[in-house]
């Protein structure tokens, strides 16, 4: 749980400042659960330069509540939370100072979005809140007012959580809250999970992620882990201390995110997907006059038309190609290269297996498979549902290479390649990601495709 905080102060000598405005948003990583936003009467003079910067003056604060009147509410809204602020050291210090004046010791873990942005957005020109969020296409209103800056910090934090594919932020958070382990066993975990699509992370006592999964219904899938009697389920039940999740809004991004983060984080229980999600491939063997279509275990040094989770799926796709492109079964892994194929007898093969069709004509038709599998455009965005109402997602293809994904709510956030790349969560382009994207394009499981190539 996070408490996104922003504070405006009177200015003045170190540790003599007073709060003039405070805003806090209680955020569970997915939605805002609670909030407080209020002017505060600091009982001290506001520095002139601060008045000019914030627009807050003494007259506005005469009837505002004093800090002690808000203190209980602040404790309630931040309870059990990690404080998140842009330049957290300053906001956290001011908050502690105000509580110390009341004789109360306020303690909490904190995360600084400046430090996180410096790590996750190393190419940013500036890490000042206004300049940074504007460069990322994040709308910001009421700059230098607590509620406006806090909301902008929240949107920035959401983006940083997405870009943190190594899950360093969430793992640190889980580790810090280790003492708050669930009890009674598993019940609280299940109650807090959404019945929506996304990726979930199962942590041990040290906060280490030992299993990553994806599901259209996270709650249902995790419940199956916690009630099943398989070897994997029993290991999960034994080691599980906490569980975190990230909604994706659609299945394609959930699958891309899952396979990428499994490879990156190497969880102990994701043995099968640590190295390759699609283990079987179909490639063209160019060594004979009639090019062959070969189904085999994927080899690192080979190029494949398409990759599959298992041989049964690969066989099924190859039969579709045989029929669609009028190919010869004997020239594939499915037939006998020394015999005429069955299709030749029923006039579904043009006779490559018996020499009736030239290799040049046959190979030209076979190569149409490659063209049919290429992306519709060299540069494009695949648009689909986002995580929240009014939000959409994009998958970015640049020069026929998959770059990653992102989210946007305003069209100007993806109007240019620069704007796209600033909102982009990069993912490595590999056979697995290519297969996933091509599959979704082929089945038309998206809202629309935006062609970025000049007309």
Residue 178: strand, helix, or coil: helix
- Nearest Cα to 281, choosing from 438, 445, 444? 438
For residues 309 and 280, is the Cβ–Cβ distance under 8 A? yes
Residue 454 reports pLDDT greater than 80 = no
> What is the Cα–Cα distance from 363 to 340, expressed in whole angstroms?
18
Question: How far apart are the C-alpha atoms of 293 and 370, rounded to whole Å?
Answer: 12
Write out pLDDT tens, residues 200-220: 999 999 889 999 999 999 998
Mean pLDDT of 140-157: 91
Q: What is the pLDDT of residues 70-85, one digit of tens each?
A: 999 999 999 988 899 9
**pLDDT tens digits, one per residue of 343-358:** 888 888 998 999 899 9
- In this prediction, residue 273 carries a pLDDT of 60
Sequential DSSP letters for 298-321:
--TT---SEEESSHHHHHHHHHHH
Contacts of 173 (CB under 8 A, 6+ apart): 2, 82, 109, 111, 207
CA atoms within 13 A on the CB side of 141: 1
**What DSSP string runs through 180-237?**
G--SSTTHHHHHH--SS-EEEEEE-TTS-EEEEEEESSHHHHHHHHHH--SHHHHHHH
| Mean pLDDT score across all residues of the chain | 88
Inform me whether the pLDDT recorded for 293 exceeds 50: yes
Helix (H/G/I), strand (E/B), else coil: 283: strand
Q: How much is the average pLDDT of 169-192?
A: 63
Residues 6+ apart with CB under 8 A from 84: 2, 3, 4, 5, 27, 110, 111, 112, 113, 153, 157
Q: Residue 180 — pLDDT band, cuts 50, 70, 90?
A: very low
> What is the C-alpha separation between 4 and 110, in angstroms, rounded?
10
Within 325-430, where are the H helices? 342-345, 359-366, 368-373, 417-423
Q: What is the DSSP letter of 289?
A: S
120 has pLDDT over 80 = yes
What pLDDT, in 10s, does the model give residues 365-381? 999 998 888 888 999 99
Model confidence pTM above 0.85? no
177: pLDDT confidence band, cut at 50, 70 and 90?
A: low
d(C-alpha 413, C-alpha 205), whole Å: 40
Q: What is the band of 276 on the pLDDT scale with cuts at 50, 70, 90? A: low
Distance CA 173, CA 326 (A): 57
The answer to whether the CB of 68 falls within 8 A of the CB of 33 is: no
Residues in the chain, overall count: 455
Whether residue 277 is predicted with pLDDT greater than 90 in this model: the reply is no
Average pLDDT over residues 149-161: 92
Tokens 């382009």 found at: 429
Asked if 265 and 200 touch (Cβ cutoff 8 Å), the reply is no
Residues 435 and 429: their CA atoms lie apart, in Å, by 10
CB 218 within 8 A of CB 243: no
Paired sense of beta strands 209-215 and 198-203, if any: antiparallel
């Amino acid at each position: 749980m996070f408490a996104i905080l922003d504070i405006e102060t009177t200015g003045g000598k170190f540790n003599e400042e007073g709060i003039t405005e405070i805003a806090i948003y209680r955020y569970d990583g997915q939605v805002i659960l609670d909030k407080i936003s209020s002017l505060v009467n600091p009982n001290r003079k506001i520095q002139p330069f601060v008045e000019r910067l914030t627009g807050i003056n003494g007259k506005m604060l005469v009837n505002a509540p004093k800090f002690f009147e808000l203190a209980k509410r602040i404790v309630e809204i931040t309870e059990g939370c990690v404080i998140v602020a842009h330049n957290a050291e300053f906001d956290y210090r001011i908050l502690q100072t105000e509580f110390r004046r009341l004789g109360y010791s306020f303690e909490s873990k904190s995360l600084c979005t400046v430090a996180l942005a410096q790590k996750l957005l190393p190419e940013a020109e500036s890490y000042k809140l206004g300049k940074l969020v504007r460069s990322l296409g994040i709308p910001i209103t009421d700059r230098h007012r607590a509620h406006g800056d806090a909301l902008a910090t929240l949107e920035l934090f959401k983006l940083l959580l997405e870009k943190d594919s190594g899950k360093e932020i969430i793992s640190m958070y889980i580790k810090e809250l280790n003492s708050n382990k669930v009890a009674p066993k598993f019940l609280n975990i299940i109650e807090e999970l959404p019945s929506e699509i996304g990726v979930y992370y199962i942590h041990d006592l040290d906060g280490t992620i030992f299993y990553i999964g994806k599901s259209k219904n996270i709650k249902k899938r995790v419940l199956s882990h916690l009630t099943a009697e398989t070897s994997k389920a029993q290991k999960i039940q034994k080691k599980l201390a906490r569980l975190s999740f990230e909604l994706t809004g659609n299945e394609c991004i959930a699958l891309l995110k899952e396979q990428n983060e499994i490879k990156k984080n190497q969880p102990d229980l994701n043995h099968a997907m640590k190295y390759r999600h699609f283990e079987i491939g179909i490639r063209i063997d160019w060594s004979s006059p009639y090019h062959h279509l070969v189904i085999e275990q994927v080899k690192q040094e080979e190029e494949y038309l398409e990759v599959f989770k298992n041989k049964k799926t690969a066989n099924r796709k190859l039969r579709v190609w045989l029929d669609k492109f009028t190919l010869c079964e004997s020239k594939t892994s499915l037939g006998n290269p020394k015999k005429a194929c069955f299709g030749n007898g029923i006039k579904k093969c043009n006779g490559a297996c018996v020499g009736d069709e030239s290799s040049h004509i046959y190979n030209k038709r076979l190569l149409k498979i490659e063209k049919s599998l290429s992306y519709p455009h060299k540069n494009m965005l695949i648009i689909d549902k986002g995580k929240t109402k009014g939000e959409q997602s994009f998958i970015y293809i640049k020069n026929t290479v998959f770059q990653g994904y992102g989210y946007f709510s305003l069209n100007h956030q993806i109007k240019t390649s620069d704007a796209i790349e600033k909102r982009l969560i990069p993912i490595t382009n590999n056979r697995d990601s290519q297969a996933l994207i091509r599959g979704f394009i082929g089945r038309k499981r998206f809202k629309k495709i935006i062609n970025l190539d000049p007309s």
